[in-house]
Every structure is written in C-alpha cells, then in structure tokens.
Structure 1
Amino acid sequence: MFPTSGDCRDGASVSAYVSRIVDMIDRSGLPYQLTPMGTIVETGSVKEALAVVEKAYEVLGEDCERVYSALKLDIRKGKAGRLKGKIDSVERELGRDVSH
C-alpha cells in the first residue's frame, strides 16, 4: 500500500508513507514481517485483516488523495504462528537447522 498522488510523493520514494503503515501495524501487536516489496501481517480472521487495511487507509488518508494497495490472503483455520512456521517448513525441506 502506498500513495500514488503527486502531493504525497518525494520523487520515487514512498518509504515515509510505508513507514506510517508499518508503525501502525507494529503498535497493533499483530505478528508481521516487513519485506522489500510488501509487509506480511498475520491475523486470526479475515475481519481482522480487513480492519488492518482500513486503518492503513486512514493513516495515509490524512494527506494522500490516492492510494494503491495489493492484498493477498492465505486463510488456514486453526493455525497460528505461520510467519515463522512456513519458512521453517521450507528450511527443513532444504535440510537446514531450524532450531534458531
């Protein structure tokens, strides 16, 4: 999620705006992982995930006229801790130690 309108952009960089969203997610207490091309957030429900998206729009909506977002949802009932678990699963397949 990032602003596309000219008044919110400093050249090609949108990191100041992305950092607002990451700060909001961090303060929410939800598990998340920042990556170079997006942020992964683990929630317990679709409703909770969409609430994070809505709050992110509010954070940027204060001074950004147009905002782009792309969402992917991976829903698996009864599973938590998947941010680390999914990576550990691949690492085990590669024969690597995941006891860290």
Structure 2
Amino acid sequence: MSAYVSQVIQMIRDSGSDYQLTPMGTIIETDSLAQALAMVEAAYGILDQAGCGRVYSSLKLDIRKGKKNRMQGKVASVREKIGDVRS
C-alpha cells in the first residue's frame, strides 16, 4: 500500500499544511474545514488515477476556531505533565 500512500502523502506535504504520518493513518491540520475536505477529495483523485480500485477511509474532525499548531500543542501538554513520550 505504500506506493499509494506515498503519493497522497506527497500531495499533503506539498500543500504546506501541517501533518503527521503515523503507522495507521495521517493527521492533517488545516485552517478551515473546506481545506481539509479539499485535501480528502484530492487524495481520492490521486488514488483513482493511480488505479486503486478500492479506498477505505475514516475521518475524524476536531474543529476549534482560533487555535494553531494543535497537534504539537496537544503532545506538549502531555509532556508537561509526564515527561518525554514517543510521538
């Protein structure tokens, strides 16, 4: 699957949005819901063009206005409380 995943990750990386690739998914942080959904749509387009016959996806949306760098902030908050953690 990495041949497909890498194409999507390249699009996300090139978008300029903050992201974190994990073993079981990718977390993205955008300025708006529209940007996030456009990125999902672009990912489906990439997979379709690559000949991927089936796409399974699961979306979670955590929308909080007026906050930036939330991915890093959430991890930093846990580190403040218990010390170093893997991320």
Same fold per superposition (TM over 0.5): yes
Question: Corresponding residue for 2:7?
Answer: 20
Q: Which entry has the higher C-alpha Rg, 1 or 2?
A: 1
Q: How far apart, CA to CA, are the structure 2 residues paired with 1:26 and 1:75?
A: 21
Q: How far apart, CA to CA, are the structure 1 residues paired with 2:20 and 2:53?
A: 27
Higher relative contact order (CA 8 A, sep 6+): 1
Q: Gaps (5+ residues) in structure 2?
A: none
Question: Corresponding residue for 2:38?
Answer: 51
Q: Gaps (5+ residues) in structure 1?
A: 1-13
Give the number of aligned pairs.
83
- Cα distance per residue 1:48-68 (max 9 Å; x no partner): 100000000010011122211
1:4-19 counterparts in 2 under 5 A? Answer: 14-19=1-6
Secondary structure at the counterpart of residue 79 of structure 1: coil
Q: How far apart, CA to CA, are the structure 2 residues paired with 1:69 and 1:38?
A: 9
Structure 1 stretches of 4+ moved >2 Å: none
Q: Over aligned residues, Cα RMSD in angstroms?
A: 1.1
1:93 is displaced (CA, Å) by 1.3
Which amino acid in 2 is paired with 1:57? Y
